[in-house]
Amino acid sequence: MAQAPTNKNKAAMTLPKNTRFGKVALIGKLHSTASAQSVAVLQDIALFLQKSGCEVVLEKSTAEQMGLNNLPTLNLTEIGAQCQLGLVVGGDGSMLGIGRQLAPFGVPLIGINQGRLGFITDIALDQYASVLGPMLAGEYDADKRSLIAGKVMRDGKCIFEAMAMNDVVINRGSHSGMVEMRVEVGGHFVANQRADGLILSTPTGCSAYALSAGGPLLHPTIGGWVLVPIAPHTLSNRPIVLSDAEEVAIEIVAGKDASANFDMQSLAELNIGDRIVMTRSEHSVCFLHPKGWSYFDTLRKKLHWNEGGS
């Protein structure tokens, strides 16, 4: 298996201006049902990339699901070791999964939105040709996103670990009452909370579950997290913004069938006494956006701000 580069060797994370990308990986919406339309979309984008002077490879699972055999294929580890750019065609969920897996390699990602919302896959499918051209020639804005590194400790041993780009969510069981959790930040006791659960969100994830649970938005450049209770028993338990430089630990004190979800894509079943320990990952994900991209433009468009007013 190829080794992930060290932080010192992550040249892709500090891309110089006017970089042209030699080898580009095309990654489709994984675990989706192939359709004639989705196959045609990937073929069109691959042809566009080739005409733009890029060597194109398909992510192996994408090629298998779509029945595409006209391009060389690589798995994600090989893509991380060999490619200068990943082009993800799908929704935000696809980008979250690919981002976590390619983060140790420092491969920058561009997202073409084939989903519903598109907070981080921000290029519209019907505009990809006009937008991608200048970006492939080096006209882009780079945007680094932090990750949470989490592990579940049981009797002093790590039984599960994963990364999250959006959030880590501790949930009560579907057929049980509230879960009681002891919260520590930087080794200091904060409180015991009884609630349906807790969300620890990155700035990227603040527009997802954390927002619907009453949390604030954080600009992606802020080195912080948001801790948001889900339906807390005590209404004075409110969301709080934390520094991501400190460890956050949540211990299960009481409650049945609790679980820890990482980006809602990795799941760990929890017992009473388990501790979920979360720190800022040494890795980050680099998104490339069209020149002039603004986080506020994204919020205004996706959250429908400025609508309905005079």
Residues recognised as catalytic: 92
Burial label for 206, CB within 10 Å (0-12, 13-18, 19+), is: buried
CB-based contact 176:256 (threshold 8 Å)? yes
Rg of the chain over Cα atoms, rounded to whole angstroms, equals 20
How many contiguous H segments (helices) and E segments (strands) does the chain have? Answer: 7, 18
Q: Where are the beta strands (DSSP E) in the chain?
A: 23-27, 55-59, 73-74, 85-90, 109-113, 123-124, 140-154, 157-164, 167-171, 179-185, 188-195, 197-201, 224-230, 240-243, 248-254, 259-262, 266-269, 275-290
Tokens 């069209």 sit on residue: 290
